[in-house]
Chains A and B, each alone.
Chain A
């Protein structure tokens, strides 16, 4: 299987934050969700991939190319969408094309025009006149116009309404349909990933918690629910995290440990629940 993105033992130190030995692989033709709470290191990881930050250790390969030694070649294959647009607010949409297209030999104007029509973006509008969702689509239209093989999105859905979020997920699903494109998608809105992602990389407090298939990730945990009197010391000890209410409790436990709690209600865990419980580092909370 060809890998479009390989990150090995990536480390970066700031004064108040450290990213430790992050490793993951994104195969060709799939969508990977990069998840974790705010400040966990998702944007740092993406900026390191883009060589916008200098790493302290590790190795990054984009479509087999080193992200520093072969930076230009690698970036020519990359499309990037940030949470806010990176064009000049005063540019018209047509000016965006004029300014950006020269950097990409594969740029196809017909494709850009087609994308604008598909996304209902008026070419004469200024960037600042577009809604946040439209600005995001404009960034996507640019990436699709030079047929970027790997799309990296940093928190693209934050601040988008549910309709725009749904549209984005639809666009991404269509984008990888031919099996020739991949997406790395950072978000803390994990509900988006339930639908779109094939793989999950979960970073918590600068450490890699998990990287692998989404099904494997979700299957690793279960939610156990019960009344207050049913919260035994054994369960508390085995639980990854426990949330108590006046009437009962919810606990995230590893799937292999669920046998011990069979009389209780055991349900599959959502990605959101896994992130919430594991981010609390196993502490009880109400």
Chain B
């Protein structure tokens, strides 16, 4: 097993006591999907909620002064950080899978039709939201700790507000926007590339923070 995977495994053992809370967080958005009769809404809520639980690893570490444990383990700081991102992505993937299984069942039981396109759109939207939250949060937690670092969770919210403000001011006939919106495949591809780039930059920042951090 690589050191990165070992670090991921350690993170899973850190959040073990919170497993019920995390499970509840994964299932709660079924209610949102049912109320809004939309899988896009349900998955989006699920991914936003689960993104908030990624701070548990940092809180447990801080509460138990476990930075000393990380300081003595025979593992590079970069592997430790990458392992944490892998844990976060695994948690996000689990939430996505749970949502994509449970929510269509509930919606179909309510008489709503949920097609493959709806599910793909919901998955891509949820993934993007999850990435948007976590890429800011994690470096914030590494830099400022579990309590002060929470501020970084609100950066995407500010981003949304800014987008809502500037979007109407963009020219409607912008060729890039019209091309992307008219082609779902292109849109999905673009989102996926954006997510990868965001994570690469975020991981780079987190590694830099950890390498300069004194424990």
Q: Across the interface, which residues of A come within 8 angstroms of B60, CB to CB?
A: 88, 90
A195–chain B nearest beta-carbon distance, Å? 26
Known: A72-B76, A78-B72, A80-B72. A52 touches B215 (CB 8 A): yes
Within 8 A of B (CB), among A46-86: 47, 50-54, 71-76, 78, 80, 82, 84, 86
Q: Quick check: is B177 within 8 A (CB to CB) of the other chain?
A: no
Q: Across the interface, which residues of B come within 8 angstroms of A104, CB to CB?
A: 74
Q: Is the CB of B214 within 8 A of A86?
A: no
Within 8 A of A (CB), among B53-75: 60, 63-66, 68-69, 71-75
Main secondary structure of the interface of B (DSSP, over half): helix
- Closest A residue to B214 by beta carbon equals A53
Q: Across the interface, which residues of A come within 8 angstroms of B163, CB to CB?
A: none
Within 8 A of A (CB), among B129-162: none
Q: Across the interface, which residues of A come within 8 angstroms of B66, CB to CB?
A: 86-88
- Closest A residue to B212 by beta carbon equals A54
Within 8 A of A (CB), among B1-27: 1, 3, 6, 9-10, 13-14, 16-17
Q: Is the CB of A75 within 8 A of B72?
A: yes
CA distance A47 to B10 in the complex (A): 22
Q: Is the CB of A50 within 8 A of B72?
A: yes
B83–chain A nearest beta-carbon distance, Å? 11
Q: Across the interface, which residues of B come within 8 angstroms of A52, CB to CB?
A: 68, 71, 214-215
- Closest B residue to A51 by beta carbon equals B71
Query: Nearest 10 CB-CB pairs, A to B?
Result: A75-B74, A86-B69, A52-B71, A76-B74, A52-B215, A86-B68, A90-B17, A99-B13, A80-B72, A72-B74
Q: Across the interface, which residues of B come within 8 angstroms of A98, CB to CB?
A: 13
Q: Across the interface, which residues of B come within 8 angstroms of A75, CB to CB?
A: 72-75
- Closest A residue to B76 by beta carbon equals A72
Residue with the highest number of chain A CB atoms closer than 10 Å, among B16, B71, B72, B212: B72
Within 8 A of B (CB), among A18-55: 47, 50-54
Known: A53-B215, A87-B69, A95-B16. A103 touches B74 (CB 8 A): yes
- Closest B residue to A90 by beta carbon equals B17
Interface size on B, residues (CB 8 A): 25
Residue with the highest number of chain A CB atoms closer than 10 Å, among B10, B17, B64, B75: B64
Chain A interfacial positions (CB closer than 8 Å to B): 47, 50-54, 71-76, 78, 80, 82, 84, 86-91, 95, 98-100, 102-104
Q: Is the CB of B74 within 8 A of A86?
A: no
Task: Name 20 extra pairs, CB < 8 A, besides A47-B214, A53-B214, A88-B60.
Answer: A47-B71, A50-B71, A52-B68, A54-B212, A71-B76, A72-B74, A86-B66, A86-B72, A87-B64, A87-B69, A88-B14, A88-B64, A89-B63, A90-B17, A90-B60, A91-B13, A99-B10, A103-B6, A103-B73, A103-B74
- Closest A residue to B73 by beta carbon equals A103
- Closest A residue to B64 by beta carbon equals A88
CA distance A58 to B66 in the complex (A): 27
CA distance A74 to B76 in the complex (A): 12
